[in-house]
Amino acid sequence: MEDARDLKACPVDFDHESEAHVAAWPGEFREMRGTCPVAWTEKHGGFWVATRYKDIVAMAQDDATFSSFKTFDPHSGDVSGGITIPATPIPRGLPVEADRPDWDIFRKYLNRRFAPKAAEARRAGVRRYADSLLNRVIETGEMDLVNDFTGPVPAMTTMELMGLPLDEWRQFADPLHEMVFTPKESPDFPHVIAGVQWIFQRCVETFRERRSQPPRDDLLSYFAHEQIDGRPLTEDEMLSFCNNIITGGVDTTTALTTHALVYLDENAADRRRLMDDPTLLPIAREEFVRYFTPIHGLARNVSRDVEMGGAKMEKGDRVYLAWAAANRDPEVFDAPEDVDIARFPNRHIAFGAGMHRCIGSFMARVMFEEMMQVVFARIPDYRVDPARARRYTSVGTINGWIDMPTRFTPGPRIETGLVL
C-alpha cells in the first residue's frame, strides 16, 4: 500500500520561521515557484507551501476547501488549525479564524466601522499623533525610527479606534512590537506575553465600563452596545475581535512604513521624485506594500482531498499561502524583483484575497501616508543606519525591523495640542 507521505510531491527543505529564510526568501520563493509551485516541507509537523500567484488566489477564494478555522483549549493548551504555522496557542482571532457561515456574521458586524470613509475620518488624528511623536525627538536630531515613530503611530491610532486611554501608549506599543520579534524560547518572552495580556485585560475592563455607560464613538463601546445577530456580543468574541484588530493592524503598518523609509534613504532619485510629487504617494504606497509584503504568508487548513498546482492535498493537511512569493510572480508583475514607485496597475495580494481580505487596508493606507508626509515635511534629510539596525530573526509571518537608528537635522517642535 502507498504510504500517505509518498503523495507529498515536491519535497523541499523550507522553514519560513528560520533565520536563514530572512535573507534567502526571494531566491527560495523564485526557485520553488519555478520548480515546485506547491511544495511539501516536513518542518513544523509538515505543510504545503504555495508560491504561485494563481494558486494562492484560487486557494484564498475557495474558503470552503481551504479553511481558516481554529480551535484552542485554554486548559490543555491544545490548538488546531488557524492561520499561523506553527499554530499559535492563544484564542482565535475574529473574523480571520472563522469560516462561513459564522464569518459572514462577524465580518458584517465589523464592516461598517472600517469603511473607507471611517478610515478617512481618522486622518487628522493620525497626523496629530505623528507630529506629536516627532516633537519628542525633533530637537535632538536623532531617534529610533521604529520605536519612536513607525511603531507608536499605528499603536496610538488603534488605541483611539478602540477607545483606550492614550496616556498608556508606551505600554501598548512596546509589547505589540516585542511579541513579533522575541523568540518563544527567549527568557524575555514571558515578560513580553505579560505585556500583551495586560493590553487585552485593558480591553476587557474598558468593555465592561462601556456596558454601563451611554454609547460613544469607539469600538469597545460599539462592542458593548451593538447586538450581533440579534444578541449581545460575548466577552470571548470581543477579545477575539480585539486580538485580530490589534495584532493585525499595528506591527504590519509599522513594518511597511519602516521598509519604505529605508528604501527611500537608499534610493535618492526615488526619494526626490516622491518628495517633489506628492500625487505619486498613493501609487508608490501600493508598490511598497507589494514589494515588502508586511505579512509574508498565512496558513489554511485543507478540509477535503483536492489537487492544486499539481499537488495532491489531503483532508487535514496544512498549507502556507506565501503572499510575498505571489507578489513577485513574473506571470503577473513585470520585473517583480524591482521597486517601481510608479507601477500601475498593481494587482498585489499583500492584503490577502477572497473573503478574508484585509478589513483594515484603508486604515493602513491612511497611517502610512500621514507618517510619510510628516517625515517629508519635517525631517526631509533623514538618514537611517541599517547596518546598526536589527532585522526580525523570523519573517515568516511579519517582515519587519526591530529598530532603526535614524539621524536628521534638528528642527522645531510644532503645536499639536498633545504633549507626549
Question: Which residues bind to ligand HEM, rule: CB under 6 A?
Answer: 60, 68, 83, 95-96, 107, 244-245, 248-249, 252-253, 256, 294-295, 298, 323, 350-352, 356, 358-360, 363-364
Supply 119's cell numbers.
478610515
Supply 19's cell numbers.
533565520
- Cα-based torsion angle of the residue sequence 403, 89, 97, 194 in order, rounded to the nearest 10 degrees: -50
- Closest residue to ligand HEM, based on beta-carbon distance: 360
**Of residues 137 and 156, the one with the C-beta less far from ligand HEM:** 156
CB of 69 to ligand HEM, least distance (A): 11
**Whether 384 contacts 265, CB under 8 Å:** yes
CB of 60 to ligand HEM, least distance (A): 6
CB of 152 to ligand HEM, least distance (A): 14
**Of residues 13 and 102, the one with the C-beta less far from ligand HEM:** 102
**Of residues 145 and 295, the one with the C-beta less far from ligand HEM:** 295
CB of 419 to ligand HEM, least distance (A): 26
CA distance 165 to 162: 9
CA distance 69 to 99: 6
SS3 85: coil
**Of residues 298 and 389, the one with the C-beta less far from ligand HEM:** 298
CB of 368 to ligand HEM, least distance (A): 7
Strand-pairing partners, residue 321, are 50, 298
By CB atoms closer than 10 A (0-12, 13-18, 19+), residue 301 is: buried
**Whether 204 contacts 220, CB under 8 Å:** no
**Of residues 95 and 336, the one with the C-beta less far from ligand HEM:** 95
Which amino acid makes up residue 153?
V
CB of 282 to ligand HEM, least distance (A): 14
**Of residues 60 and 311, the one with the C-beta less far from ligand HEM:** 60
Please name the helix (run of DSSP H) or strand (run of DSSP E) that holds residue 139, with its range, or none: none
Contacts of 409 (CB under 8 A, 6+ apart): 141, 379, 381
**Whether 326 contacts 53, CB under 8 Å:** yes
- With CA atoms as reference, report the closest residue to 389 among 269, 265, 286, 275: 265
CB of 54 to ligand HEM, least distance (A): 16
CB of 7 to ligand HEM, least distance (A): 26
**Whether 117 contacts 143, CB under 8 Å:** no
**Of residues 149 and 408, the one with the C-beta less far from ligand HEM:** 149
Please name the helix (run of DSSP H) or strand (run of DSSP E) that holds residue 84, with its range, or none: none
**Of residues 34 and 282, the one with the C-beta less far from ligand HEM:** 282
